[in-house]
Chains A and B, each alone.
Chain A
Amino acid sequence: MSYLQNIGTYFLMIAEMFRKPTKWSVMRTLIFKDIDDLIINSLGIVAFIGFFVGGVVTIQTALNISNPLIPKYLVGFATRQSIILEFAPTFISIIMAGKVGSFITSSIGTMRVTEQIDALEVMGINSLNYLVFPKFIAMMLYPFVISIAMFLGMVGGLAACIFGGFTTVNDYIMGIQEGFEPFHISYAFIKTLVFAFLLATIPSYHGFYMKGGALEVGKASTTSFVWTSVVIILLNYLLTDMLLSS
């Protein structure tokens, strides 16, 4: 029953987020601040993880191909497919649920604990629009982050080939280009946009509706990470089934 109530409250929160908009001059500043906090400040960790995991995928694929009949360009092909289809959109999103999600939950939760949200409400401000909507808009730039993860993942694979000697650069690049399906990019970005929405709203929900003090802010951040990850994994399955298996 409590799960149903939480799901209902979550959807009511989303509806309320679009009502009674904050003045554009104020909202613009909030959006730019959230783009800086959520997108720009995540580029470093996403680039680092993307590059090295791309390299690891390449090494693992190369080491597991022992049959001489399997062409060497398959290493590049497998790296591209793994990174574009799953690693960049899904696994980076789970990492972002920890980084961005806990930031959102703790910042909104602290405002709840210190009565700053009450202060907004008393002033007649739609606090959900003021706090959550700019995060939602900022996260619409999340596909840009995932594009960087995709690109650097493949560059990481290339670097692994060059420095590890697992396959030739020519074979790797041939594999990257082999059997390319443009729809896979669309599929990845559809997933990314859905995950961006979840990354902005689920942590906001856990911060906004939390009760208690400083300890509960920490607990809310953990709960928010768990639920954001669970929903991302479930929707990943559903979207993959819907978009690729037909």
Chain B
Amino acid sequence: MIEVTDLHKSFGDAHILKGISAYFEKGKTNLIIGQSGSGKTVFLKCLLGLFESDEGIISYDGKIFSELNDDQRRDLRADMGMVFQGSALFDSMTILENVMFPLQMFTNQSKSEMEDRADFVLKRVNLVDAHKKFPAEASGGMQKRVAIARAIVNNPKYLFCDEPNSGLDPNTAIVIDNLIKEITDEYQMTTVINSHDMNSVMEIGEKIIFLKDGEKAWEGSKETIFKTDNKVVTDFVYSSNLFKKVRQMYIDENE
């Protein structure tokens, strides 16, 4: 479990995160949603330790991040997997080498053992016959799958995904969402997903945190988001006519 208490972060005069408190549960897909500029990415980067928070506590299963030294932080990060918005695959390596990379760095497995494990996770994300391709030769959806495979190859305890659906067609986006959900269930990871894709919210939002202007404006799940009267949330989530109709249908069915 990841617990965040009263997190603040500023860049110069811009106060981006204004005292966010939240907890992210193990074995669940936890979504952070909000408009562009609401502080989602800064929040995620603070969780990952890529940005140092100004105030507040981030605790990973009891380990307080700000109290760890550099070496302890690096050890903790070995338990984290991250799927970046742009996939962030190493473009000088093949897909197989990208997936094998964390194993090369952190295990003493033989080359054949690493290849077997990489092959296993690539099959797990439904990628076959792409091992020798370079990232530039793969489609956006394939790159996301490779990024997921790389993130989970070392059995991390925590999985972070920054806008995993951005730039993908709706079908591929659903496949990626379901894949993340399945993997979270299977490996019992604490998964935190940064998204503003409402399909993701409805599909896999077991826990949802809504950020507005750097503050937590709402917290709930994909079930409760249909019922909420919080105007800030409904204005954002149900901004399209389609979602307004979906919400009305849900309310009508459940009354």
Q: Give bound CA distance, A125 to B84, whole Å.
A: 16
Contact of A124 among B50, B77, B84, B85 (CB under 8 A): B77
Q: How far is the CB of B48 from chain A (nearest CB, A)?
A: 5
Complex interface: chain A residues within 8 A of B10 (CB): none
Q: Are A25 and B104 in contact (CB under 8 A)?
A: yes
Q: Does B198 sit within 8 A of A, measured CB to CB?
A: no
Q: When the two chains form the complex, which single residue of B49, B85, B86, B105 contacts A125, counting CB atoms closer than 8 Å? A: B105
A125–B74 CB distance below 8 A = yes
B113 to chain A, nearest CB (A): 14
Cross-chain pair count, CB within 8 angstroms: 57
Shortest distance between the CB of B25 and any CB in chain A (Å): 21
**Residue pair A20, B70 in contact (C-beta under 8 Å):** yes
Q: Which residue of B lies closest to A29 (CB)?
A: B104
Across the interface, do A118 and B77 meet the contact criterion of CB distance under 8 Å?
no
Do A119 and B88 touch (CB < 8 A)?
yes
Q: Is B91 interfacial (CB 8 A cutoff)? A: yes
A20 and B73 alpha carbons, distance in the complex (Å): 12
Interchain CB contact under 8 A, A122 and B77: yes
B74 and A122 within 8 A (CB): no
Closest to A16 in B: B70
Bound: A121/B50 CA distance, A: 8
Kindly report which residue of chain B lies nearest to residue A113, judged by CB atoms: B86
- Residues of chain A lying within 8 A (CB to CB) of residue B73: 124
- In the assembled complex, which residues on chain A have CB atoms less than 8 Å from the CB atom of B121? none
Does any Cβ of B come within 8 Å of A177's Cβ? Answer: no
Known A-B contacts A123-B78, A124-B78; the reply to A20 vs B84 at CB < 8 A is: no
Find the residue from A19, A25, A116, A123 having the highest chain B CB count within 10 A: A123
B58 is an interface residue with CB less than 8 A from chain A: no
- The docked-state distance in angstroms from the alpha carbon of A121 to that of B89 is 13
Whether A123 lies near B104 (C-beta < 8 A) is no
CB contacts under 8 Å to B, within A20-62, are: 20, 22-23, 25-26
How many A residues have CB within 8 A of the partner chain?
Answer: 17
* Residues of chain A lying within 8 A (CB to CB) of residue B76: 124
Check if B56 is an interface residue, CB within 8 A of chain A. no
| Interface residue A114 (Cβ < 8 Å from any Cβ of B) | yes
Q: Which residues of chain B have C-beta atoms less than 8 A from A126's C-beta?
A: 74
Cβ proximity bits B88-125 to A, threshold 8 Å, 1 near / 0 not: 11110000000001101110000000000000000000
The answer to whether A20 touches B74, judged by C-beta atoms less than 8 angstroms apart, is yes
B80 lies within 8 A of chain A by Cβ: yes
Residues of B near A23 (CB, < 8 A) are: 104-105
Interface centre among B50, B75, B88 (most CB of A within 10 A): B88
A115 touches B88 (CB 8 A): yes
**Looking at B84, B90, B102, B105, which has the most chain A CB atoms within 10 Å of its CB?**
B105
A119-B74 contact, Cβ under 8 Å, with A23-B104, A26-B105, A125-B105: no
Known pairs A23-B105, A26-B105, A122-B48; A115 contacts B84 (CB<8 A): yes
Query: B79: shortest Cβ distance to chain A, in Å?
Result: 8
Q: In angstroms, how far is the closest chain B Cβ from the Cβ of A191? A: 33
Closest to B84 in A: A115
The residues of B that contact A124 with a CB separation of less than 8 Å are 73-78, 80, 106
Q: Tell me how far the C-beta of B123 lies from the nearest C-beta in chain A, rounded to whole angstroms.
A: 22
Q: Which residues from chain A contact B82 at a C-beta distance below 8 Å?
A: 118-119, 122-123
Q: How far is the CB of A184 from chain B (nearest CB, A)?
A: 41
Q: Considering the complex, which residues of chain A in the window 206-229 have a beta carbon less than 8 Å from any beta carbon of chain B?
A: none
Residues A114 and B104 in contact, CB atoms below 8 Å apart: no
- A63 CB to closest chain B CB (Å) equals 49
How near does chain A come to B118, taking the closest CB pair, in angstroms?
15
* Contacting residues, chain A, for B90 (C-beta < 8 A): 116, 119
What is the distance, in angstroms, from B95's C-beta to the closest C-beta of chain A? 15
Contact with B along A91-117 (1 / 0, CB 8 A): 000000000000000000000001110
With A and B bound together, what is the CA distance between A33 and B125 in angstroms? Answer: 31
Would you give the shortest CB distance from A135 to chain B, in whole angstroms?
14
Task: Give complex CA distance A118, B84 in Å.
Answer: 9
Ordered by A's residue number, 5 sampled pairs between the chains whose C-beta atoms are within 8 Å are A25-B104, A118-B88, A121-B49, A121-B50, A123-B77
Known contacts A119-B90, A125-B105, then 4 further A-B pairs from the complex at CB < 8 Å, ordered by chain A residue: A114-B86, A115-B84, A116-B90, A123-B78
The 6 A-B pairs of least Cβ separation, nearest first, read A124-B77, A124-B74, A115-B88, A124-B78, A119-B88, A122-B82
